[in-house]
Structure 1
Amino acid sequence: MFKITKITSLIIVAIALFSSVEGYSQTKEKDKDKKAVVSKREAARRGLHKRDSLMRSLNRSDTSINSLLQRIEQYTTTFNQIKNNLAEGLDTADVSEQLPQVAKRLDKIAKITDSHKASTLRYLFVIRDNLDRIQDRLEESQSDLDDINTKLVQNQKDLIKFAKDTTLKTVPYDSLARRTFFTQLKTVKILWHRIDSVNRVALLKVNLLQDKASVSYTKALDEDDQIDAKISGFATKALSGETSYIWSPDRQYNDFSSAFNSTVRLNNLLLGYFIKSQPATHFIGIIFLVLVFIWIIYTRSKALKNHEDSEKLFNEANYICKRPVISSLLMVTVIVPYFYNHPPTVLLEGFFLLSMVLALILIRKEIPKDSFNFLIGLFALAFGYSISNLFIEISNVDRYLVFALSILSIALAFSLYKKYKKSPEQHLPNTGLALQVFIALQGLSLILNITGRFSLAKIAGVTAVFNLWLVVTLFLVIRIIIQGLYLQFQIKRSPNSIINWIDYNLVQKKFKKTLILIGSLLWLFFLLQNLNIDDWASDNLHDIFTQKQAVGDSSFTLGGFIVFIFVIWLSSIVSKVISYLFDISAQRVTDLSVLKRKNRTSALIIRIGVFSVGFLLAVAASGFPIDKLTIIISAFGVGIGFGLQNIVNNLVSGLIMAFEKPINIGDVIQVDGHMGTMREIGIRASKVVTGDGSEVIIPNGDFISHQVINWTLSNSNRQIDLRIITAYGVDIAKVKDLLKNLLINHDDIMTTPAPAVLVNNVSESAIEFKVLFWVADINKTGEIKSKILAEIYSTIDREQIPLPSTQKDIKLFLPDGTPVDNQFLNPGSEGTKSGSKKGFKENPPDPGQ
């Protein structure tokens, strides 16, 4: 039983083990199958990732090579552009050529200013002006070099950027792309090496030029400071006196040869530099000479050719007609020096002496002999002062020369002044005053020279002589311009030329005043130059004009205020010129068409428009804030409310008339009992010219508020109404036919509307006819009416048409037996006359008889 149980247990255990082993094997096989599935899945996934990575890698390689090739292409384009710019060359030729010359000029100026003490402010200012020009030139050169350097630095940055570009070190995967990439990269590198070397050389060259320009500029500033120091110390030295009294000369000023040599060197230096430094101004001066010469020669030849009275032309334009070349040269030599900014003294004096010679030639036979001899002596004095004014060092010889010139000047002027006192009418106006000022300045120069203040003495003497001569030359230039204007008006032109419309006398008067004003300003400028205070005056005026002044919350400058006034004045001048041109066109044109009259009326709109634009420009130019105009407008509104109603009313009425044009220039109007022709429509009032020649000024408001009759608003036609009275019993049809035929056949009477003859009234003793007809021009109404009345009278007399008689029959009733006086019955007897004188009383008939 035990064995059976044991065997059964073993069998059960075996079965269990077998089952477990089988289950384990099955589980293991399942696990193996599961792992196989997982490994396959993982392998597939990994293969997928690998292929994906490969594809992405391939894609990245393609994208990279395209980007690299594009970048190389960009570098190639940039380098080629740099190469082309460098191949054109640097714009430094002028700078390279000018810098050595500038350095030499600075060395010469430094040597002169260090070794000599200039005796005149004029030369100190001229040297400083030359230094200022050198500084301006160097500033321009530095600016040009900076621009070039900026471009070269940018080129270098682009070149360095290429050298540091790490993306170009990427190697493409594809062999074909790799070969293409390396080929283009090699080409770009070769180009880069060439351009980099050229750009570095150019950059080095520009840097060297910049260093030279900076050194020269610093040296010019140092020399300018040194000249400023001498100028600032000149006044103190001149007032205190450079030397002792004239009878005890200083030995340090005995070296005349040194002063002469240094003067020659400095003048040559300044003149040479000036001629080379301003070619544009020289060219403008030559063009001005050519234009003046052509204008004078052409005007003279045309006027002499077309004008009948050549003797009158020679009297009115004696300078141009007799000496046209001398007149042209004189005008140029007087005006051209003002084209330059602080030219050297030697150049100014050359122009000035030449203008004196030309003036003497021009007026040799035009002025009295005493005045001409004085000008000859004055020319000699001016020549001596010109030589003295060129010296840059004080010398005793120069001092004695100025002393002698002062004495001769006083003697010469005093001699002419005595002759002027005897016959002032033979000399130019204000000759006495000019001589008095001249003698006073020369006396001051003499005193200053004696007391050792030689520089001030020379300034006073030079100013007296040169400015007196300048008065003469400017006077002649103004005369030449006026004469040229006169000849311009004598040239024959077409009837429609605008010159024929302008009144020469009016233009001459206005233009002469303008020329005198300009000449006075030029003379004042030359006076300040001779006194060597032109820069001082300019600096002080600039400070005064630019200094801000505060009024409440607003600020302004005196210069802005002057600009405001000047622009307003200029706009008023322009508006007046426009008005004048419209007026003269109205006087020249005889066709009073409606369109032309309206165009003339538009002058008011143009004037107001010009003035308004001028006002806005003046406000803008003066720097006044535009927003502050509201304050002015508000104040203007208050003024209107208190007392400017009539003025504003007339102004607005003028604008209404200008825009609506109910009345035009040239219209025949009737307002407030005044009938006449509209001459001018102004801003505030208008002018009406009546038939008797009087000009009635009517406020513009009256044309709007009152009843106005405009006879020529639409056209210039006018109807004439005549009354013809004939005796009772005439043939009415015959009279009407005669009158109508007379009107129809008349050339001055319009056919449309046709003339008419009407019976107006029939009385016991007469028949009245009304004659109506139209004329085309209202200005010919009186003339045509007179002609028609005369022709009607001739027709009535020829056709023997009776007119009503004013004779009265008197019936006299006398008592029976009363004798009748034959003299009373005879109308021509003395008794009748006597009776008529006494007054004969007529007795009415007795109704009972």
Structure 2
Amino acid sequence: MDSIVKEIGIKNRINQLMLESKAENEKKARQEKYINYQKVQKQNRIFNLIELEVQNAKFLLTRGYAYKDITAEIHQLKEWEEFAVKGIVGKKFRVMTDRNLSSTSILLDELLKRTSNRLKKISVENQQLSRTQEKIDSLVAEKNLYYVPIDSVAREIYRLQSLKMNTDINLISERLKNAVDSIQTLEIMGDQLKFKIESDIIENDRLRKLEVDQLFTKKVPVFERLDIKKLMIEDPLTFSLKTNYLVLYFYLINNKNSILMMLILIIGTAVYFKLQKRKFLDLGYEKNMLFNIYILNSPIATALLAVLNLYQFVLPMPPLIFSIIAWTISTIALTIMMWKSINTFIWKIWVAIFLLNLVAFFDIIILIHFVGESFLILAINCLGIGIGVYAFKNRAQIQRKVYFWYIIIATIFQFFSFYYLLNGHYNLGKFLMTKAVYTIIVVFSLYSTFIIVKEINLISKILEADDEDEPKKTLNGIPHQFTLGFYLILFLCWFLLMIRNTYTFQNFVDPFRNTISEPRSIGNITFTFENILTFIVVILLSSFLARVVSFLASDNQIIKNKNKTKNFGSWLFLSRITIVTLGVLLAFASAGIPLDKITLIISALGVGIGFGMQSLVNNLISGLIIAFEKPVSLDDIIEVGTQSGKMKSIGIRSSVVTTFDGADVIIPNGELLNQNLTNWTLGSSSRRSEIRFGVAYGTDLELTKKLLFEILEKNENVLMKPMPAIWFTRFGDSSIDLVLKYWISHFDFDNETRSEMIIAIDKTLKENNIVIPFSQQDIHIINKEIEPEPDSEPEI
């Protein structure tokens, strides 16, 4: 029995072990299957990632990289670098001119900036391709990629995927390698060029500093003839023209927005001055009455002079070639302005200065010293000294003494220029000659610009005080007497313009420019003080233009054509809105503020509008509706609520109505549209008027009607179409009542015409013995005695 039990236990044990073994085998099989599945899934993900990176690499390579264009650009930059440092680095010119060193400094700075920008773009492209290659290499190095699946179907799929991957990688890796090698070659070329330019800048700055330090001590063979071939250039003039062209070209390209804004200001200011001149001519002034006012005498030349002279203080450090071109244009404009408005002596002086400026302009262009140029400088010195001596002898004829004193200063500069040049100090002599010539040019131009600014205020006062019935007289210009503060400002402006292009001033200003150009951060926002200043300047300029247009829109002195006035006012209003909008957008763009930041600002404004700016937005939108729909225009006669008068101006937020009592009432644009608006002159300026009165009983009514028609026909303000009407309306208490209804040509003539008609009617009726009775009433007073009643008791 025990053996049977033991045998059964052994069998059970064997069965248990067999089950456990089977379960263990199934467990291992399932685990292996799961692990195989995980490896296949991870392998597929790697294949997908490789495919994605291969597609990205194909996109980068298909997009292409302008290797030839960039290579050509680098070679162009290298060619410009070699041209800029010719005679400065390596084999040097015997006479180092300050103008050439200054121009070379500008060119090298520009070439360094362009090379650095190009290297940044090359680096970005190199990083994109290299990063793509690294990702592909790292994915290919994954060990799970090389796991061979156990399942036959999965193994076949793996074989096909591996074959496709190897084909794609072999193709793309070769192309990526070639692209990366090409870009790295460009990067090496750019780095070499950048290092060369930086070395040139150091050498050029050393030479400039040396020339400044030796300005009064260093002597050179000014009048010794040189072999042009030793200068390493074919022609000094050609070399100078090309250098000046490059300097000017780079400056215009880098500051195209500022230059464009200056041109817009010139055009806008010229239009404004032309409109002002047209107003005076329409008021009855003759052209010969306007000679003493620059704005009215030569509007275009005046606008050109004023904007050029004021805007040059806004432009970022213009090179000397740009400044002398601007001053030469100012000289031409000022010559046109003074053509008939200056006395003969000053005109002779100015013509001599103008011709001297042209000669000096030619000399300043020359950057390489040669003997002929030295004699040209001496000739300019002699002419300048001669002009100064002539002015000194006839100083009593110079009314504006500021001209005289600066002519004397320029003459002193010319004398010292002559002296130092003869003693071999070439750079000092040419520097003094340049400042002598442009001292007079700048002072004349600045002084005239300040006069123009005062004339703008003067002509507005003349227009406000003008009476159309008064005879017109010749307008007097701005008086010659100015305050001490004005002359101090004139001196500071002149001094700044004279030293702005010098090495010493630039060394003083450069740290400040670097400070305001340095990027700063507040949280995630990056900004520079230069961008902030640019933003403020653009906003101020657009506001100035809008104010000029606002002045035109609010000026109602001239009303010659009603329809033109309406259209003109509406277009001016729309122009103001356009100027402000473009000014804001240009300010954001000039300051470098991205559009997503503008979107955030607009969103914030939207929240503010929803909470507390509904009224303001309502008025702004109403202003736009008024501009486009035109329910009211300038000089219309309107009634709004309890207010009535003439529309003086239409603003962005509010409009101004001048009442007949002379008060200016400011009405928000929203109220103009929300209230009942009566416009007496919207469709036509004509108006129907009437006069009521009566004639005595017994009057010949036919004769009366005939006489009244004759009176209506004689009055020039009464229109015959539509025909006037005379109606006898009723038999009154003391007269036969009648009414005259007639149309007048303009609303403004209503009261005047009514007065003339009443006077004429009264006179005519009296001459024909027709009586206009006044109201009469008979009053009858009845006196009746009051007797006491019989029952009443006597009073005690």
User: Shared topology, TM-score over 0.5?
Assistant: yes
- From 82, 92, 103, the equivalent of 2:57 is 82
| Contact 1:761-1:769 within 8 A present in 2 as well | no
1:403-460: CA deviation from partner (whole Å, max 9, x where unpaired): 4542343235545775x669779xx998756654442331232343456544222211
Change (3 A) 1:98 1:414: same
Partner of 1:724: 694
Shift of 1:123: 1.5
Partner of 1:571: 543
Q: How does 1:279-294 map onto structure 2 within 5 Å?
A: none
| Contact 2:228-2:235 within 8 A present in 1 as well | no
Change (3 A) 1:132 1:679: closer
**Distance in 2, Cα, partners of 1:761 & 1:733:** 17
**Distance in 2, Cα, partners of 1:173 & 1:228:** 74
Change (3 A) 1:182 1:436: same
Shift of 1:173: 0.9
Max Rg structure: 1
One-letter amino acid of the counterpart of residue 692, structure 2: L
| Contact 1:117-1:392 within 8 A present in 2 as well | no
What TM-score, normalized by structure 2, do the two folds share? 0.57
Shift of 1:136: 1.0
| Contact 1:719-1:773 within 8 A present in 2 as well | yes
**Distance in 2, Cα, partners of 1:362 & 1:736:** 65
Q: How many residues in Structure 1 have an aligned counterpart in Structure 2?
A: 626
Asked if 1:195 is matched to 2:166, the reply is: no
List runs of 5+ in structure 2 lacking aligned partners.
272-285, 292-300, 450-472, 479-489, 519-527, 594-618, 668-674, 682-686, 776-796
**Distance in 2, Cα, partners of 1:132 & 1:140:** 12
- From 111, 114, 117, the equivalent of 1:134 is 111
Change (3 A) 1:562 1:272: closer
Asked if 1:43 is matched to 2:18, the reply is: yes
| Contact 2:657-2:666 within 8 A present in 1 as well | no
One-letter amino acid of the counterpart of residue 506, structure 2: D
Partner of 1:171: 148
Q: How does 1:278-317 map onto structure 2 within 5 Å?
A: 278=249
| Contact 2:112-2:197 within 8 A present in 1 as well | yes
Structure showing the higher helix proportion among its residues: 1
Asked if 1:159 is matched to 2:130, the reply is: no
1:511-541: CA deviation from partner (whole Å, max 9, x where unpaired): xxxxxxxx99999887446767773575487
Shift of 1:158: 1.7
**Distance in 2, Cα, partners of 1:685 & 1:471:** 42
Shift of 1:227: 1.9
Shift of 1:81: 3.5
Change (3 A) 1:281 1:791: same
One-letter amino acid of the counterpart of residue 51, structure 2: T
Q: How does 1:356-367 map onto structure 2 within 5 Å?
A: none
3-state SS of the aligned residue for 1:112? coil
3-state SS of the aligned residue for 1:723? strand
**Distance in 1, Cα, partners of 2:194 & 2:739:** 98
Shift of 1:28: 2.4
Partner of 1:390: 366
| Contact 2:719-2:743 within 8 A present in 1 as well | no
Change (3 A) 1:270 1:742: closer
| Contact 2:47-2:165 within 8 A present in 1 as well | yes
* Deviates further, 397-406 or 434-443: 397-406
Shift of 1:134: 1.7
Asked if 1:581 is matched to 2:556, the reply is: no
Partner of 1:459: 431
- From 215, 226, 233, the equivalent of 1:256 is 226
Change (3 A) 1:671 1:723: farther
1:470-499: CA deviation from partner (whole Å, max 9, x where unpaired): 89999999xxxxxxxxxxxxxxxxxxxxxx
Change (3 A) 1:744 1:193: same
Asked if 1:112 is matched to 2:88, the reply is: yes
| Contact 1:374-1:416 within 8 A present in 2 as well | no
**Distance in 1, Cα, partners of 2:498 & 2:224:** 31
- From 198, 214, 225, the equivalent of 2:191 is 214
Asked if 1:93 is matched to 2:63, the reply is: no
Q: How does 1:706-725 map onto structure 2 within 5 Å?
A: 720=690, 722-725=692-695
Partner of 1:224: 201
Partner of 1:5: none
Change (3 A) 1:405 1:193: same
Shift of 1:166: 0.5
Q: How does 1:752-831 map onto structure 2 within 5 Å?
A: 757-758=729-730, 761-762=733-734, 767=735, 769=737, 771=739, 779=748, 780-783=750-753, 786-787=756-757
Q: How does 1:240-639 map onto structure 2 within 5 Å?
A: 241-243=217-219, 254=224, 256-257=226-227, 261=231, 272=242, 278=249, 379=355, 383=359, 386-387=362-363, 390=366, 392=368, 402-403=377-378, 405-411=380-386, 414-415=389-390, 435-449=407-421, 453-465=425-437, 527-528=498-499, 535=506, 539=510, 542=513, 567=539, 571=543, 573-581=545-553, 583-584=555-556, 587=559, 590=562
List runs of 5+ in structure 1 lacking aligned partners.
1-25, 244-249, 300-311, 318-326, 478-504, 511-518, 548-555, 624-653, 702-709, 807-849
**Distance in 2, Cα, partners of 1:561 & 1:168:** 59
**Distance in 2, Cα, partners of 1:750 & 1:523:** 68
Root-mean-square deviation (CA), in Å?
Answer: 7.0
What TM-score, normalized by structure 1, do the two folds share? 0.54
**Distance in 2, Cα, partners of 1:128 & 1:675:** 67
1:301-353: CA deviation from partner (whole Å, max 9, x where unpaired): xxxxxxxxxxx999999xxxxxxxxx9xx99xx99xx99986796x9999999
| Contact 2:352-2:387 within 8 A present in 1 as well | no
Partner of 1:633: none
Change (3 A) 1:142 1:543: closer
Percentage of matched positions with identical amino acids: 12
3-state SS of the aligned residue for 2:208? helix
1:125-154: CA deviation from partner (whole Å, max 9, x where unpaired): 111111112211210121022112201221
1:707-745: CA deviation from partner (whole Å, max 9, x where unpaired): xxx999575888756332515xx4899999999999999
